[in-house]
Amino acid sequence: MSLLHLSFYSAFTLSSLGLAFHRTHLISALLCLESMMLSLYMTLSIWPVENQVTSPTLMPVLMLAFSACEAGTGLAMLVASTRTHGSDHLHNLNLLQC
């Protein structure tokens, strides 16, 4: 495993661990999701270069589009929850109280 692979795997692992253990604010969960998407995007962008594929792949562009949609939806949820509940703490968001 090269150093490049190790850095992408460790970035994805650290962001998923951050998502699992730091669950106090919605903004920190969204940042962990964005870092996961960034590491996946970088991996998908480097993959054709390493495998010496001459045709361009569409997967990095699709991943970037889904990441932008996820970020927009997450920020809309952040604004909506802050307006209704007064804060972005995840323990205030309960589906049974909606």
Q: What is the pLDDT of residues 38-72, one digit of tens each?
A: 999 988 888 877 888 776 678 888 888 999 999 99
- pLDDT for residue 47: 82
In a domain? residue 98:
no
Tell me whether residue 86 is in a domain: yes
> Does residue 76 fall inside a structural domain?
yes
CA atoms within 13 A of residue 16's CA, in its CB half-sphere: 9
> What separation, in Å, do the N-terminal and C-terminal C-alpha atoms of the chain show?
48
H/E run at residue 12: helix 3-21
Alpha-carbon distance 88 to 33, whole Å?
Answer: 16
State which residues form the domain around 78: 3-92
What pLDDT is recorded for position 53?
Answer: 79
Whole-number pLDDT of residue 95: 60
- What CATH number should be reported for the domain holding residue 41? 1.10.287.3510
Residue 97 lies in a domain: no
Count the domains in the chain.
1
Residue 13 pLDDT grade (very low, low, confident, very high; cuts 50, 70, 90): very high
Higher pLDDT, 16 or 5: 16
Q: What is the pTM of this model?
A: 0.80
pLDDT at 58: 83
Residue 47 lies in a domain: yes
